[in-house]
Every structure is written in structure tokens, then in C-alpha cells.
Amino acid sequence: MRNKQKTYTKTGMLAHFLKGCTRFFVFTILASLLVTVFEMLIPQVIRQTVDAVIGEEEMNAPAVVVRWFTRLGGAAYFRENLWIIAVIIIVMAALLALVIYLRGISASVSAERLQQNIREDLFSHIEKLPFSWHQENKTGDIIQRCTSDAERVRTFVSEQMIEIIRIVIMVAMSLAFMMSMNVKLTLLAAIAVPIVIVYSVVFHGKIGAGFEKCDENEGVLSTIAQENLTGVRVVRAFGREEFERERFEKQNVYYTGLWVNLMKLMSVFWGVSDLIGGLQILLMLVLGSVFCVQGQLSAGEFIAFLSYNGMLIWPVRQLGRVISEMSKAGVSIDRIRYIMNSPLEEDKPDAVSKEVTDRAVKGDIVFDHVSFGYEKDQEVLKEISCTVKAGTTLGILGSTGSGKSTLMLLLNRLYEVPEGSGRITVGGVDIADMKAEDLRTNIGMVLQEPFLFSRTVGENIGIRDRQMPLDEIRKAAKIACVDETITDFKKGYDTIVGERGVTLSGGQKQRTAIARMLTQKAPIMIFDDSLSAVDAETDAKIRAQLHESLGKSTVILISHRVTTLMQADKVIVMDKGRIVEEGTPEELKTAGGLYQKIYDIQLSFSESEA
């Protein structure tokens, strides 16, 4: 069945990530609304206290409040018992604190669940992307998108988006209460609102462009660090510490400069925003005092008006800051969306069943006029035609860049054969018609530079089955001539392999990888120059063990050593993407071609060493 590839818009992707935590966000928004209501009511209580209890004015409040106020004894009673009003304010403040606490818990839960969804969905999607996509995108940049950018999206959705809703509610309610007290002063106060919003929108684009450049260069910096940490052996071996340090510092200085310039821009933005807010508050204080002197505003209304004005201008100012943060979030959302919208590896909708694939992989492998290039108009393979009989061993010899490994990557469908560029069949079935997972389950591969995980040696060998018995693991290790080496370790098969296998030598890593592949018991086994790091004697032992244990498996051996290919049933010699020789080892070593040249050079070199 074809993988359903979904293309996400920004809002669509956020909605996808919010699945399972929407109710917490809804509760957070409702709690924010309730918090705003309490914050709006407290100034009204103070206003009525100043005007109708301490002062002599009529209570200007809803009818139900006036009736309750009168029934309890009116202004005279509350004037003698001001503690009741104090208790009311304390209770309202306590309820406000409780709602804020519940809102905080809900916001935290929703934020962490959102982050969990983002991480899991990104990782799952990346795992299913084609091998070619991973080759085109740098690891450091991918990691940064999955960490820094994911965190920024979480912050935007869980904090800034809710803050925008809260600000809108607060501004609307503040204006409503202010209008109920003095329309003229409210209109004057509201003039600053569109000024701050327009000003923020203008800066939004500039800040977004600056942040995008910073984000991209953070990815470059992460890539340099990641490469140096994983390639520390090479750096040390070639004495490149100073060069790599200078390279890192150069990028770091450039990256820091970008942030400094962005911070200067944002400082101007925040400074002007604060200035506008401060001037508006000062203006309201002066005009409000004048209105009080003229009798257009009571003392209680003036106090309440200033409180609501603070709830108006500072949230509007905060809205400006949120808009600037949205610039950052928008860039991060696009960077994550790039991953989520990258096409997944797809099988044909009418792909053959697993049973058909399992039968086919036991048949002949046929490369039928296969051509391929990683880049357009630059072919690495040119019209390759070759048949590997089931249960036989094919040796492939060729110089670096001749296309040997590329041929195997195509067989394993890590790259697809372009339409019209030939085809590869196994057991008469085109591998393009098979499900990639079913095909790869039946092909074991050992690369020249094998990858080992930071786990125990035993876990690395038995990686395909967590419950694999130690006896089965050791059996594979013995065939790969690595069991004795492992048992000599202090912790044996429980020895932890360092990151990328750095605690093992090159030969030990290759033999461990061979053992891992052997546990797969695949009907097709590929050894891509996987004995290059072992000595000739160990190479011979491993080849002898493999010859006895592989049984009916079809084996493809890629090697620069002629001796490694001596037991192959057939050898092909590749040069510049073409097959230039083909035959048995005995035939080729006297055919006068490239194979014989390499054979004579390596044979004479071995004799001189002896």
C-alpha cells in the first residue's frame, strides 16, 4: 500500500501536533478568560468603595449589586465595616491566584505533550524519508530543526498564542470598562493601540528575516560541532585541532555577529515600544487629573481608569513583543514543515506481497541495462548488465569511483533506478514492484565503514531481535572471527561500544558488523569491502568460515583485494561505471586485462613482504 503523503500548511501542521492535548489548551484559554474577569472586577470594587462608600456618590453598578449593597445596610454600614470590602478583595485575589495556578498546570501539561508530539512525529517522519534525502541534508541542521526549532514552536503555541488571546480579551474588556466611565478619555487612550500594532507589524518582517539567517547559521555551527565530535579520531590523527578550532570560531563569530545585529534591531523595537507606552500612560495621568478637577471624572473612576489603562497599554505593548516573537516562530515552523512535507519513501500501490518477495529473493539477481547518476547528466553507472545465479558468489573488483557500491545501493533500493534507465530483478520480479521493507529484510549488507550504536557489543550483534540468545550471537561472532576478541574484553559481550564504535579498532568494527549481518540469515548477503581493515590472515579465516556457513545464500563480495575474491564463482571488473571484464577468477588472472594487472601487482607485493 502506498504511503499517504500529506502536505501541511502552517496551521494544518500545528493542528496535527496538537492532537491529544487540545483540551488542555482550551482549558488554559478559559482560565485566562477567568483571570481577566477577576483582574477587571477588582478595580471596580475599589472604584465603588472610593466613590460610594468613602465618598457620597451614588453607586454606579449593576442592579443586582446595588440591591445586595442596600440590603446589607448601604454605604453607612460598609463605611463602618471597611474590613468586609478588604475580605472581598482578598477572596477575589485568592480565587485569582487559584485560577492562575490551575492555568499554569494546564499550560505546562499541554506544552510538554505538544513537545512530545512534535519530537515523535518528526523522528517518525525522518525515519521514513529516502536515503537520498539524508544525503542532501546535513545532520547538524536536522538535529537543530528537531530541537531548537521544535522548542520555539512549543513556546509559541503554549505561551505566545495563548498570550495573544488573553491580550485581545483584556484589551476589549478594558476599553469596555473605560468607555463606561469616560468616552472622551477612552478614545484618547485608544489612539496608542493602532500605533503600537502598526509599528510592530512593520518590524515583524525585518525581525523574521534576521532570525531566519541566525537559525540557518546555528545549523551550520551545529554541523561543525557534530562532525568534530563524531570524527574526533581523524581530527587528532591528522593534527587538525587548530584548524578545526579556527573553523569553528570563524563560524561562531559570524553567528554571534548576526545575533548582535538582530538584538540591536529588537532593542530599537522594544525601546520605542516602551517609549510609546510610557508617554501614553503619562498623558492619561495628566488628562485624567484635569478631568477630575473639572468634575468630569470622580476620584474612584480616575483610580479605576488608570488601572484599566495599564491593562490596556501594557498588553498592547506586550502584543507588539509577541508579534516580534511570532517572526521567530514562523521561521521555525517553516523549518519543521520542510521536514514534515518532505516526500516519504513510497512503494507502488500494487506492490507484490511479502510472500512473493520472500520466494523471489531466493532466485537469480539480474541487472538489466542499469544506468544511474546522483546528479543530472553525470552517470555513475552506464548500461550495467549482469546476472548473479542464486546460491553463488559474485565478486566485484574496481577502482574507487567505479560504481561498485552504487550498484549495491540500487539493489537494496536505498536509491531508485530512474524510469527508463533499466531495471533490477530478483527471481524474475522487479525490485521496484516489491515493498522496500520486505526487500531489505532479505538483504544483509556490511559496509566498509560500518555503523555501531552506543550499546553493548552483544546488543549490536543481536540488534534485529532483543531476545536473541547469547549462543546465537556467539555463533555469528565465531564465524566473523571476533568471538575470541570479544571474550577477551573485561565485560565480554556486555562491553559498551563507544559512539560510532570508537572503542573498537577498524577491523573489530567490521567483524562485529559481519556478525550482526549473519544473524539476519538473509538469502542475499552483500560485503562491500567489509574486510579492508583486517589483516590478510584474518581475512582468509573469515572467508573460509563464511564459505562453510553461508549455505544457499547468494553472496556479493566487493573488494580491492584479489585474494578476497578468489573463491567467488564469478567476478566482474568495473571501471568508470561500466563492466569491463567478467569471468571466473582463474579465467581473469590470465586474461591480460585489469584483473590480471591488479592480481600481478598484489601478488608481487605479497611475495616481497614475505
pLDDT at 573: 93
**Cα three-residue angle 360-477-528, rounded to 5 degrees:** 50
Instruction: Find residue 387's DSSP bridge partners.
Output: 366
Q: What is the dihedral of CA 448, 454, 455, 456, to 10 degrees?
A: 60
Lowest mean pLDDT among 118-132, 229-243, 328-342, 465-479: 229-243
Tell which of 275, 306, 340 closes a domain.
340
Of the two residues 145 and 499, the one the predictor is more confident about is 145
Per-residue three-class SS string for 483-531: HHHHHHCCCHHHCECCHHHCCCCHHHHHHHHHHHHHCCCCCEEEEECCC
Residue with cell 553525470: 378
Comparing CA positions, the residue from 466, 57, 520, 589 lying closest to residue 302 is: 57
Confidence of residue 562 (pLDDT cuts 50, 70, 90): confident
Shared domain for 328 and 186, answered yes or no, is: yes
- Report the pLDDT averaged over residues 8-25: 86
Task: Report the domain count for the chain.
Answer: 3
Q: Is 3 inside any structural domain?
A: no
Domain of residue 473, CATH code = 3.40.50.300
CA atoms within 13 A on the CB side of 87: 5
Q: How many residues does the chain have?
A: 610
Shared domain for 533 and 514, answered yes or no, is: no
Shared domain for 587 and 511, answered yes or no, is: no
> Hey, is 72 helix, strand or coil?
coil
In angstroms, rounded to a whole number, what is the distance separating the alpha carbons of residues 524 and 558?
14
Between the two ends of the chain, the Cα-to-Cα distance in Å is: 59
Q: Is 1 inside any structural domain?
A: no
In angstroms, rounded to a whole number, what is the distance separating the alpha carbons of residues 403 and 528?
12
In order of 255, 412, 420, 556, 570, the CA distances from 424 in angstroms are 47, 10, 12, 15, 18
In angstroms, rounded to a whole number, what is the distance separating the alpha carbons of residues 102 and 112?
16
Shared domain for 311 and 327, answered yes or no, is: yes
Tell which of 504, 521, 538 closes a domain.
521
Left, alpha or beta for 454 (phi > 0: left; psi -120 to 50: alpha)? beta
Shared domain for 155 and 301, answered yes or no, is: yes
Domain of residue 265, CATH code = 1.20.1560.10
For the chain, the average pLDDT equals: 84
pLDDT at 1: 38
Shared domain for 386 and 243, answered yes or no, is: no
Shared domain for 429 and 281, answered yes or no, is: no
Shared domain for 564 and 493, answered yes or no, is: no
Tell which of 500, 521, 542 closes a domain.
521
Whether the CB-CB separation of 427 and 342 falls below 8 Å is answered with: no
Q: Is 260 inside any structural domain?
A: yes
Shared domain for 36 and 125, answered yes or no, is: yes
In angstroms, rounded to a whole number, what is the distance separating the alpha carbons of residues 164 and 15?
17
Q: How buried is 368 (Cβ within 10 angstroms: 0-12 exposed, 13-18 middle, 19+ buried)? A: middle
> Hey, is 431 helix, strand or coil?
helix
Of the two residues 341 and 538, the one the predictor is more confident about is 341
pTM exceeding 0.85? no
Q: Is 23 inside any structural domain?
A: yes
In angstroms, rounded to a whole number, what is the distance separating the alpha carbons of residues 437 and 351?
11
Lowest mean pLDDT among 240-244, 356-360, 513-517, 567-571: 240-244
Shared domain for 159 and 221, answered yes or no, is: yes
Q: Is 362 inside any structural domain?
A: yes
Shared domain for 29 and 49, answered yes or no, is: yes
In angstroms, rounded to a whole number, what is the distance separating the alpha carbons of residues 25 and 18?
9
Whether the CB-CB separation of 431 and 352 falls below 8 Å is answered with: no
The one-letter amino acid code at 542 reads: I
Q: Is 345 inside any structural domain?
A: no
pLDDT at 384: 93
Q: C-alpha cell of 102?
A: 490551575
In angstroms, rounded to a whole number, what is the distance separating the alpha carbons of residues 571 and 580?
11
Q: Is 2 inside any structural domain?
A: no
In angstroms, rounded to a whole number, what is the distance separating the alpha carbons of residues 192 and 316?
9
In this predicted structure, the answer to whether residue 3 has a pLDDT above a threshold of 60 is: no
Residue numbers of the domain that contains 132:
10-340
> Hey, is 103 helix, strand or coil?
helix
Q: Is 347 inside any structural domain?
A: no
Shared domain for 515 and 526, answered yes or no, is: no
Whether the CB-CB separation of 390 and 363 falls below 8 Å is answered with: yes
Output Rg (C-alpha) for the chain, integer angstroms: 36
